[in-house]
Amino acid sequence: MKHILPELPYSLDALEPYIDAKTMEIHHSKHHQSYVDKLNAALDGHEDLLELSVEHLLTDLDKVPEEIRTAVKNNAGGHYNHSMFWKMMKHDGGGDPTGDVAEAINGEFGDFSKFKELFANAAATLFGSGWAWLVINKDNKLDVTQTHNQDSPISVGQKPLLGLDVWEHAYYLKYQNRRPEYIANWWNTVNWEQIEENYLKS
Ligand code: MN3
């Protein structure tokens, strides 16, 4: 079973003006596609591994032969992280979270603005390429974390609820070196219904 690029759940311009259509087009049809293609290339000839989902591969990387482990980690991670990321945003998103995830955020971080500050700081201070996350950690508590490159929280036993891609490819066309401005604007795209769903499933 070859891995395939999922369709975006909205049009390329749905996240304007916060994320521009050109960035979305390149990010989805070039960058994400490339993770999918390189994952399939790495798994070529490994019939047993081609049967496994990306989640399975990423939570059990030790089972992947050493000669393709790095390629699988990077590209299955890229595929998995981006597949989640697209769904974490929507047209007319943003605002405050509601429901159980809002209660959990308030319980863990004090209030939503304190959580936002922590998360934005994690995104802004990540050196190089990677992601900021809101996860449920191994102790079953909400936590704000960072991952480098395309490493995925699920490889270290965490359940990602919300993630922000801070690779330059995610924002450079519109924001150039102004990563904090991208982060500040990105909050207006967050699909809190999806984050609630992720929380309830975790
Ligand atoms: Mn990306």
Say whether 92 sits in a helix, a strand or coil: coil
CATH topology assigned to domain 21-87 = Helix Hairpins (1.10.287)
Ligand 1 mean position, distance from CA 110 (Å)? 30
Do the domains 21-87 and 99-201 sit in the same CATH topology, yes or no? no
Ligand 1 mean position, distance from CA 169 (Å)? 6
Query: For position 88, what pLDDT does the model report?
Result: 98
| pLDDT, tens digit only, all 202 positions of the chain | 799 999 999 999 999 999 999 999 999 999 999 999 999 999 999 999 999 999 999 999 999 999 999 999 999 999 999 999 999 999 999 999 999 999 999 999 999 999 999 999 999 999 999 999 999 999 999 999 999 999 999 999 999 999 999 999 999 999 999 999 999 999 999 999 999 999 999 8
Contacts of 45 (CB under 8 A, 6+ apart): none
Ligand 1 mean position, distance from CA 85 (Å)? 9
Distance CA 160, CA 82 (A): 12
Show the CA angle centred on residue 192, arms to residues 189 and 198, nearest 5°.
125
Ligand 1 mean position, distance from CA 82 (Å)? 6
**60-96: per-residue pLDDT in tens?**
999 999 999 999 999 999 999 999 999 999 999 999 9
Distance CA 90, CA 106 (A): 23
Q: Could you state, in order of their start, the residue ranges of all structural domains in the chain?
A: 21-87, 99-201
Ligand 1 mean position, distance from CA 148 (Å)? 12
Residue 127 near residue 142, CB atoms below 8 Å:
no
What are residue 159's phi and psi, to 5 degrees?
-110, 110
Residues 157, 85, 123, 180: what is their CA dihedral angle, to the nearest 10 degrees?
180
Q: And the tokens for 84? A: 């989640």
CA distances from 114 to 69, 142, 185 (A): 38, 13, 17
Domain spanning 99-201 has what CATH number?
A: 3.55.40.20
Q: How is residue 27 annotated by DSSP?
A: I
For the chain, give the number of residues.
202
Helix 99-109 and helix 112-125, axial crossing angle in degrees, nearest 10: 80
Ligand 1 mean position, distance from CA 30 (Å)? 10
